[in-house]
Chains A and B, each alone.
Chain A
Amino acid sequence: MSVDLQTVKRVAHLARIAVSEEDAERMTGELNAILGFVEQLNEVDVSGVEPMTSVTPMEMKKRRDVVADGGKAADIVANAPATEENFFLVPKVVE
C-alpha cells in the first residue's frame, strides 16, 4: 500500500500537524519508503496467531479505589502556557 499527497494531508490533519504543500510532498516520499519497508510483514503466515496484548504475562495491578493523592491544582497547571485561577486557557471554542 502507498499514500498519495491527499492522504498525507488528511493524516496530518488527523494528527493535528500543520503541513505546507512542500512538507506534504516530502512526507509522501518518506512515508512511502517506510510503508514499502513494512510491506514484507504480509508474507508472514499468522493464521491462528493471537495479536500480542502484553509482552510479559501478568495480571494487571489494580489500586484500591480510594483517594490517595490530590489537592495539586497549582502543580498541575504550573507548566501551562496560559492559565487563570488554576484553569487552562484555550482559544474560544463556542460561538
Chain B
Amino acid sequence: MSDLTQLTISQARAKLRGKEITATEITEAYLSAIDRANPALNAYVAVTGDKARDMAKASDARLVKGEGGALEGIPLGIKDLFGTEGIHTQACSHVLDGFKPRYESTVTSNLWADGAVMLGKLNMDEFAMGSSNETSYYGPVINPWRRSRLDTMVMPTTHQGDGGFVSAGGTRTARSLDNAQLVPGGSSGGSATAVSAFLCAGATATDTGGSIRQPAAFTGTVGIKPTYGRCSRWGIVAFASSLDQAGPIARDVRDAAILLKSMASVDPKDTTSVDRPVPDYEAAVGKPIKGMKVGIPREYRVDGMPEEIEALWQKGIAWLKDAGAEIVDISLPHTKYALPAYYIVAPAEASSNLARYDGVRYGLRVPGKDIVDMYEKTRAAGFGREVKRRIMIGTYVLSAGYYDAYYLQAQKVRNLIKRDFETVFAAGVDVILTPATPSAAFGIADEDMAADPVKMYLNDIFTVTVNMAGLPGIAVPAGLDAKGLPLGLQLIGRPFDEETLFQTAAVIEQAAGTFQPEKWW
C-alpha cells in the first residue's frame, strides 16, 4: 500500500499489530495530507503535529512490546467541541478566543487511553449550531465531493476502457467535475470532510439534532449518534444538554463500531451517563439480519422530497428484504412536530448553557462602561448571527409569560414523539429505516437558506426525531445521485441497541459499497 491514509482503521490496526507499518509512518502520512489539503478544504482549525508525533512514538514503543491498545497508533481528528488539555478548544467561536482547557474530555481521554493519536482539532459550526458548517468563526469547510456531469465521447477502438465505462459501440462516458463548492453539512462538517478526504482515519463528532448523521450523509461517510447517555458529555462544550451526544464519523461501518467502543464509557462525572457495560460493537458487523423486523415510517415521505431520495429508500428496503429481513409499514404520527419542538427545546437549553460566556472567565472580553455593558459588548462581538438568533429564541421562550405556551408545550410534544417510537418497538419492530437527509449536499452560501433560517433547519427533518427521543441513529452511505453526490440512509434503533444498527448498516454497506470523492484538492 503506497498511501497509508487510504487504510481503514481495521486495516491499519492489522498492519500496525503485524509490524508492517509504524504509527509514526501513518501519522506522518496524515500530517502531510493535511498540509496539502487543508488550505482548500479548511477541515482543521488547529493541527497538533508535535503532539501527534510524540503520541505516535509512544504508540510504536507499545506496539513493539505487543502492548498496544484497541486504537494503538490510529490517527484521529477531534471536533473542536471536545475539551483537549492545553490545546485549542473554542467550539469554533470567537467568544472562546485563546481558550485552552486545563482538563481533557472523557471521550478523548478514552481514545488516548486506547492508544489513538491526535492530529488536531476539526472545524465545525459555531457551538454546533448549523447544518452547513458555514457558521464557524474559522470560515466554512468545503465538501471534498463536487457535482459532476456525465460526458459521452467516441473513443478510438484501441484505447477503450482505462478507468471509464466502455460501451459496446466504442463510445465511453466519463464524469467531469463541476467547480461549484458544496457544504459538507454540519455541525460536524470538519469531521465529515476530514474522514471523507483521507485527512484522518476517523473523527469524533457530536449530534444534537443531526450534526453527525447529516454531514456523514453529505460526504459518503458513516456516522452514528448513540443513545443519549452512552458517551459521557463531560468536557464537551455544552449546546443543548438533554439532546447532545458524542459519536464517531468513519469511512465504513466496522470503523464506526471500533471507534464507538472506545468513545463510550460509564462516567461518574456525567450524571446522565448510563451504568451499562459497553458491548463489543464490532462483533455485530457481519451478523445476518434474517428475520429482523424493519419498520418503514410513512410520515418520512415528505412533500417536495426529491425522487432520488425516495428511490434510494426503496433500494434500501429491497436490500434488507433480500437479506431476509421482514419489512413492515409503521406510523410515527408526531414526526412533523419534532423539528418545531426541537427549535424551542434546543435554543432554550442553549440560552442557559451559553450564559457562561460573559467575558469574565474565558476567552474574549470587550471593555464597557460598566459590567453589564461589558457583558453585552463581549457577547455581541463574540457570538455569530446564528448563535445570537438561538440565544434570543431561547431567552424569549423561557421568559415570564411565555414558558408554558412554548417550552412546556414543546416538552409535552417531545414525550409524544418518544411514545410513537416506544409503540412501534413494543410491537416488535427491531430497527427503523429512513432517508438520512431530504437532499444531497448543497452549495456554499445558498441564497434561499441564508434568507430564511427555517429552510436551513429543515435539513434535520429526518434526524431530529432521534435526538428528541434519545434513541441511537446511524447514517450509512447508500448511493450517488444523478450528479454524482453521495446520499445516505438512516437506521434508528431501540435505546442502547447500537449493535442492531451496526449489524443492519453493514448489510446496506455490503450491498451499496463504499464511496470516495474524486480528488481535486
Contacts and interface: CB of A to CB of B under 8 A. Distances in A.
A41 interface: yes
Contacts of A60: 271
Given A15-B391, A61-B268, A81 B337 contact: no
Contacts of B375: 16
B370 A56 contact: no
Contacts of B478: none
A18 B377 contact: yes
B365 to A, nearest CB: 4
B426 interface: no
Nearest to A93: B371
B361 A30 contact: no
A69 to B, nearest CB: 10
B99 interface: yes
Interface in A8-48: 8, 11-19, 27, 30-31, 33-35, 37-42, 44, 46
Contact of B343 (A37, A53, A79, A81): A37
Nearest to B455: A33
B299 to A, nearest CB: 14
A11 B365 contact: no
B344 A79 contact: no
A78 to B, nearest CB: 6
Contacts of B62: none
Given A1-B405, A41-B341, 9 more contacts: A3-B396, A17-B380, A27-B392, A30-B453, A44-B337, A56-B274, A58-B274, A60-B271, A75-B102
A92 to B, nearest CB: 8
B408 interface: yes
Interface string B422-457: 000000000000000000000000000000111001
Contacts of B297: none
B418 A88 contact: no
Nearest to B242: A55
Contact of A91 (B374, B383, B411): B374
Contacts of B454: 33-34, 37
Contacts of A78: 100, 102
Interface band, chain B: 35 or more
B89 to A, nearest CB: 10
B416 interface: yes
Contact of B409 (A3, A33, A42): A42
Given A90-B371, A91-B370, A16 B344 contact: no
B412 interface: yes
Interface residues of A, number: 52
B127 interface: no
Interface of A: 1, 3, 7-8, 11-19, 27, 30-31, 33-35, 37-42, 44, 46, 49-56, 58, 60-61, 63, 72, 75-76, 78-82, 88, 90-93
Most buried by B among A12, A15, A75, A79: A15
A48 to B, nearest CB: 10
Interface in B91-110: 98-103
Contacts of A37: 340, 343, 454, 457
B414 A52 contact: yes
B410 interface: yes
A44 B122 CA distance: 40
A1 B397 CA distance: 11
B101 to A, nearest CB: 8
Contact of B229 (A11, A31, A56): A56
Nearest to B398: A14
Contacts of B405: 1
Contact of B416 (A11, A49, A91): A49
B377 to A, nearest CB: 5
B293 interface: no
A80 B360 contact: yes
A41 B371 contact: no
B337 A17 contact: no
B507 to A, nearest CB: 27
Contact of B340 (A8, A31, A40, A92): A40
Given A17-B383, A31-B389, A91-B374, A80 B362 contact: yes
Contact of A31 (B370, B392, B410): B392
B360 A88 contact: yes
Contacts of A90: 360, 371, 374
Contacts of A38: 340-341, 343-344, 406, 410
Contacts of A88: 360-361
Interface string B367-379: 1101111111101
B361 A16 contact: no
Interface in B228-279: 228-229, 242-243, 268, 271-275
B41 to A, nearest CB: 29
A23 B22 CA distance: 54
Contact of B271 (A27, A61, A92): A61
A14 B415 contact: no
